[in-house]
Structure 1
Amino acid sequence: MTMVAPAPPSSPLGRLRWALADGWTVTRRDIIHWIRQPVALIVNLAFSVMLVLVFGYLFGGAMSVPGGGNYREFLLPGMLVLMMFFSLESTIMAITEDKSKGVTDRFRSMPMSPSAVVLGRATADMLMSVITLVALVACGLAVDWKINRGIGLALAAFGLMLLLRFALLWLGIYLGLMLPNPESVAAVQILVWPLGFLTSVYAPPETMPNWLGTIAEWNPLSSTVSAVRELFGNPGIGGDSWIAQHSILMAVLWPVLITVVFFPLAVRRYQRLSR
């Protein structure tokens, strides 16, 4: 008996519903993995909390914030943004593992929406990012971090962090599709960590040598860090450079630019798999 796959919906609304339904199915696959194998999720959250405690207490006593202020209040917004950046590694690893195991090809051979795999991956990673933010916010509140400018601006700050994470998703999906196997992710990690630390997360750029401070200020992460500090009302706001004085604007423009560049590259690379 021959099974005939149903024809794809012909209307735009039907195709959208098809994509959303199949994308949610792929997302549920990842959620089930978290429930059945929670070790990876727990380790990821524990690592994030550990970094906050290590830098906040182990090194925090030796750090001073220009203009004064509690170093842990200076640190927490940066750590929230940094964890959004480090989540790039999990996106790359998940995409590379599915591709190397043939899971992506099996999805592509099924009568499902062509965008479902990418949409499902994006939804699962954004959900994981929200969970990470909740855990870090709870940790921050426990170590005397404060939101000083009201819930409205705080929600805007969280929105900027998730916007950055959304942009980095497409970079991660593209790199995951480009890398030949999971072992090659280590080569990307070598670059991820220096890019994450060469920012204003741990120290203000004005305390660095001029050339290094300029690089740190123009790192896209630094714009989001500065914008989030401003919206939360935490210390470490300011700077004489143009980009430091327009951090909220750049915290929007950088993610938009990253998305514009890597979204079409990721989609095109996915469409060319197994050709």
Structure 2
Amino acid sequence: MSTPSYALADSVTMLRRNLLHAKRYPAMTFSVVVMPVILMLVFTFVFGGALEMSSGGNYIDYLAPGMMMVLPAYLTVSVAVSITTDTTKGIVNRFRTMAISQPSVLAGHVVGALIQALLGIAIMVAVALLIGFRPNANPVEWLAVFGLIGLVMFSLSWVGVAIGLIAPTPESASNMPFPLVMLPFLGSGLVATDTMPVVMRQFAEYQPFTPITETLRGLLMGTEIGSNGIISIAWCAGIGLVGYVWSMSRFRKQVG
């Protein structure tokens, strides 16, 4: 078997380990998957009436694409905590003594988070449909939606891995990604950016979650996407590259 084949097999083994861990200890997965759904329900039924009166539209149609970005941000916390737990409990040191591909330890966490994110998005879409979400996307557009969300999750997961490797405790790992968790709320996910004060609008329009949200909204609801699709992919590529290089650099220092 070639070296890439060994690395792939080891990554699959690490993925299975992380999925089994999530199944046995579901509290973290439950909270990061269910909390965005609860927030969607709160925003819909608390603020939705007022926003529908002012906009004349169905607020859940506007809100749902934005809330889809909350789930990947929340799952980044789960990745960071899982990585820190492994490093502080000495599990990574045990893997160092085994004949396995060392990066597969990290890859298992990343792919596991990706699977959880896509399942979580499916749950969120189901709940949104029950409360009035009415997208007009065709099958190809739905595939593009899940593909973009998967790309976002993959990119953010590597940032979560890096945070988990530098955090001294699982508690600190759960707090360090807080600015990242807040970004979806500080973009166009909840309200249009042109309703914001000037300084806030400038920040919202030039942070990564706004073009991604607008791309999802365009795919699902038929609104104008423009250059947002290209910008979204560029943001994901940049974030993923920085996260990967940062993660591998920290990981090599720890296992070297």
Give the 3 Å change call, closer, same or farther, for CA 77–206 of structure 1 in structure 2: same
Compared CA separation, residues 106 and 125, structure 1 to 2 (3 A)? same
Q: Distance in 2 between matches of 1:175 and 1:39?
A: 21
**How many angstroms apart in 2 are the aligned matches of 1:231 and 1:59?**
24
Structure-1 separation of matches of 2:80 and 2:33: 18
* 2:242 aligned with 1:273: no
1:144 aligns with 2:132: yes
> What is the CA distance between 1:41 and its match in structure 2?
3.1
Q: In the TM superposition, what is the alpha-carbon distance from 1:262 to its structure 2 partner?
A: 2.0
Name the residue aligned to 1:241: none
Paired residue total:
256
Match of 1:32 in 2: 20
The structural deviation recorded for 1:189 is 4.3
Work out which of the residue numbers 108, 112, 116 in structure 2 matches 1:120: 108
The question of whether the paired residues in 2 share the 8 Å contact of 1:168 and 1:259 is answered with yes
Q: Determine the structure 1 residue equivalent to 2:243.
A: 262
Letter aligned with residue 89 of structure 2: K
Percent identity of the aligned residues? 30
Question: 1:185: how far off?
Answer: 2.3
Cα deviations by residue, 1:128-175 (Å, 9 ceiling, x for unpaired): 111111111111111111221311112112211111111111111111
Alpha-carbon deviation of 1:46? 2.6
Q: 1:266 to 1:85 in 2, by over 3 A?
A: same
Deviation at 1:47, TM superposition (A): 1.7
Q: Which moved more, 1:21-30 or 1:223-232?
A: 21-30
**Contact kept in structure 2, 1:23 and 1:116, CA below 8 Å:** yes
When Rg is computed on C-alpha atoms for both structures, the one with the higher figure is 1
Closer, same or farther: CA 186–263 of 1 in aligned 2, 3 Å? closer
User: Displacement, 1:58?
Assistant: 1.5
Amino acid at match of 2:43: F
TM-score, normalised on structure 1? Answer: 0.87
Output the CA distance in 1 between the equivalents of 2:198 and 2:180: 23
Query: Post-superposition shift, 1:66?
Result: 8.0
Counterpart of 2:188 (choices 191, 200, 209) is: 200
- In structure 2, relative to structure 1, the CA distance for the partners of 1:46 and 1:260 (3 Å cut) is closer
TM-score, normalised to structure 2, is 0.93
Amino acid at match of 1:83: L
Give the superposition deviation at 1:65.
Answer: 8.6
Deviation at 1:211, TM superposition (A): 1.6
String of CA shifts for 1:189-209, please: whole Å, max 9, x gaps.
Answer: 442343232111111100001
Q: Distance in 1 between matches of 2:54 and 2:213?
A: 16
Partners of 1:154 and 1:231 within 8 A in 2: yes
Describe the SS at the equivalent of 1:202. coil
1:77 counterpart = 2:65: yes
- The alignment's C-alpha RMSD in Å is 1.9
1:228 aligns with 2:216: yes
Please state how far the C-alpha of 1:18 moved relative to its aligned partner.
0.6
- Change over 3 Å in CA distance of 1:48–1:67 after alignment to 2: closer
What CA distance in whole angstroms lies between the structure 2 residues aligned with 1:115 and 1:102? 16
Checking the alignment, whether the CA contact within 8 Å between 2:118 and 2:146 is kept in structure 1 is no
Report if aligned partners of 2:187, 2:210 keep a CA contact under 8 Å in 1: yes
Counterpart amino acid of residue 228 in structure 2? S
Matched, 1:216 2:204: yes
1:35-69 Cα deviation digits (max 9, x unpaired) = 32334433333322211111111221111498642
Task: Say if 1:65 and 1:74, in contact at 8 Å, map to a contact too.
Answer: no
Counterpart code for 1:232: L
- Find the counterpart in structure 2 of residue 43 from structure 1: 31
Alignment-mate amino acid for residue 233 of structure 2 = V
Alpha-carbon distance in structure 1 between the residues aligned to 2:19 and 2:178: 28
- 1:135 paired with 2:135, answer no
The question of 1:246 aligning with 2:196 is answered no
* CA distance 1:127–1:18, shift in 2 (3 Å): same
- Normalized per residue, the structure richer in helix is 2
